Amino acid sequence: MKTVEEIQQLKNEWRNDPIWDIEDTEGFEDHYDELLSYRRKVQKKWKDQQKRELVLKAEKLGVPGNTELAKYIDYMERRIKQLEETVREIKYAV
């Protein structure tokens, strides 16, 4: 059994880099149910926050309720920023 501090540290590490299913972490098998519940709760919170942000973005864009358009525009804005950064890197590498 892991200590409360070890479990909390694992949760903090996962929250900062959630690329694995926390409940499957080796050495924490005795805490599977707690960690699964935690992952689901945090992921729901993140999903709800993303939905709220898309609702606000749609309103800001003048298309209230059109969260699909807001999501697409958000994606395109992020892609443009990535491309601008790539151009900057190329420009200064020469």
Q: What residue numbers bound the domain in which 36 lies?
A: 4-93
Residue 59 near residue 51 (C-beta atoms within 8 A): no
pLDDT tens sequence across 1-38? 999 999 999 999 999 999 999 999 999 999 999 999 99
**pLDDT tens-digit readout, 49-94:** 999 999 999 999 999 999 999 999 999 999 999 999 999 999 988 7
Predicted confidence at residue 63, as pLDDT, reads 97
- CA dihedral (87, 90, 91, 92) in degrees, to 10, reads 130
Residue 59 belongs to what H/E stretch? helix 32-60
Torsion of CA 48, 67, 60, 56, to 10 degrees: -10
Maximum pairwise Cα distance, the chain = 56
Q: Which pLDDT score is estimated for 93?
A: 84
Query: Which residue is associated with the tokens 């942000």?
Result: 53
Q: Quote the number of domains for the chain.
A: 1
Tokens of 94: 């020469």
